[in-house]
Amino acid sequence: MTDLVQLKETFEGMPLTTMTIHDRPAWNAREVGEAIGYAQRGKRFATKITGDWSNEFIEGQDYQVITGKELLAFKDMFFKGTGSVPLASNRGMLVLFESGLHLALVKTRKAQGIRLRRFLVDKVLPQLVRTGNYSGEDEPQLPQLREQRLQQKADLEARRVAVLERNADADALREAVRALHNLGQIDAATLAAYEVQAAEMVTGRDLSHLKPVGPKAWLTPTEIGSKLGLTAYRVGRLITELQLRGDFPGLARSYPHTPPHMTRPVQCFAYSPEAVRRIEAAALAGA
């Protein structure tokens, strides 16, 4: 995991140890934090990376937490008793790779961060390249990889929000139709149809085959026109004249229906045999 310590430098009197992890330069985050003026031996700086700034830092790409046996081996091999690097707790030691270090120094408002970036560019990184153990060939890809990972996180968050919004809309629909059913404004079949519509909103699937359409004897305005030999316009006029637009127990009821060319349901109506009889009688009276 950790190959060797490449450089042990001091920055403005503070130790700064550069190591190679997985063929990449890395720095102890607490040591960096102390070097740029964070209190508690840089602990607060390391905490900000995994806390306040966690939406911008990608673990494994910008930083890594060394734990367990690797942490013990790391201490024994390099730092125990040397006093050069603050020893991490047994919970782990956070190290920054080059991309994470630059990002952290950009994020901090402390003036030492600017001076430390200059120090790394002028002295540490050129010397590290000359050792031959780190070529930096992969580094140009790091910003692009970070952007990809951040975009993936943003996409996941957008999908999560969309699911929550669909669930909220479906819950609102269920509450509304159940309230109407309790008041006797809609019948059980209409309630069931809207319950299926709510399930469609949540799942994103077409469940129209589950929607009840009422008894077969109940007809839509189009079916009434076909049965009586009337135009759809004429049937609509008669329904209006008979004041049958709406939900009327035993005569007319509404139900949601999503036509093939639409994405949202529309309110449709079906009429009982008694309503059809009245429509036919009105048609004959006006003939």
Q: What CATH code is carried by the domain that includes residue 234?
A: 1.10.1660
Nearest-angstrom CA–CA distance, 56 and 79:
30
What is the phi/psi pair of residue 80, to 5°?
Answer: -60, 120
146 and 126 co-located in one domain: no
Residue range(s) defining the domain that contains residue 277: 213-287
28 and 63 co-located in one domain: yes
Of 189, 211, 233, at which residue does a domain stop? 211
Query: In b/e form, how buried is each residue of 79-93, taking b as 16+ CB within 10 angstroms?
Result: beeeeebbbbeeebb
pLDDT score of 54: 82
pLDDT score of 135: 44
pLDDT score of 211: 67
Nearest-angstrom CA–CA distance, 74 and 17:
13
143 and 132 co-located in one domain: no
User: What residues does 94 pair with on adjacent strands?
Assistant: 65
pLDDT score of 137: 46
194 and 77 co-located in one domain: no
What are the Cα distances from residue 235, in Å, to 65, 214, 223, 271? 74, 20, 10, 12
Q: Residue 238: enclosing H or E segment and its boundaries? A: helix 232-241
The count of domains in the chain is 3
152 and 37 co-located in one domain: no
pLDDT score of 98: 84
pLDDT score of 234: 92
45 and 162 co-located in one domain: no
39 and 15 co-located in one domain: yes
Tokens at 4, concatenated? 């060797």
pLDDT score of 240: 92
User: What is the arrangement of strands in the sheet containing 93-97, beginning at the earlier edge strand?
Assistant: 2-11, 14-21, 24-28, 93-97, 63-66
In the block, tokens 């952290």 appear at 104
On whether the pTM is more than 0.75, the answer is no
Nearest-angstrom CA–CA distance, 125 and 122:
7
How does pLDDT run along the chain (287 residues), one tens digit per residue?
A: 445 455 567 777 777 777 777 778 888 888 888 887 776 554 678 888 888 888 888 888 888 888 877 777 666 655 554 544 444 455 678 888 888 888 888 777 777 777 887 777 776 766 665 554 544 444 445 556 567 777 888 888 888 888 888 889 889 888 988 988 888 877 787 788 788 878 888 888 877 677 665 555 788 898 899 889 999 899 999 999 999 988 887 888 877 776 666 667 777 888 888 999 999 999 998 76
Nearest-angstrom CA–CA distance, 13 and 169:
60
Of 211, 236, 257, at which residue does a domain stop? 211
User: What residues does 28 pair with on adjacent strands?
Assistant: 95
Q: Residue 206: enclosing H or E segment and its boundaries? A: none
94 and 142 co-located in one domain: no
80 and 127 co-located in one domain: yes
Tokens at 59, concatenated? 């673990």
7 and 18 co-located in one domain: yes
pLDDT score of 207: 77
Coil, helix or strand at residue 125:
helix
40 and 113 co-located in one domain: yes
Per the document, the length of the chain is: 287
Residue 247 near residue 253, CB atoms below 8 Å: yes
Helix axes 273-285, 232-241, angle to 10 degrees: 100
Of 136, 151, 171, at which residue does a domain stop? 136
Residue 29 near residue 40, CB atoms below 8 Å: no
In the block, tokens 């299926």 appear at 196
12 and 120 co-located in one domain: yes
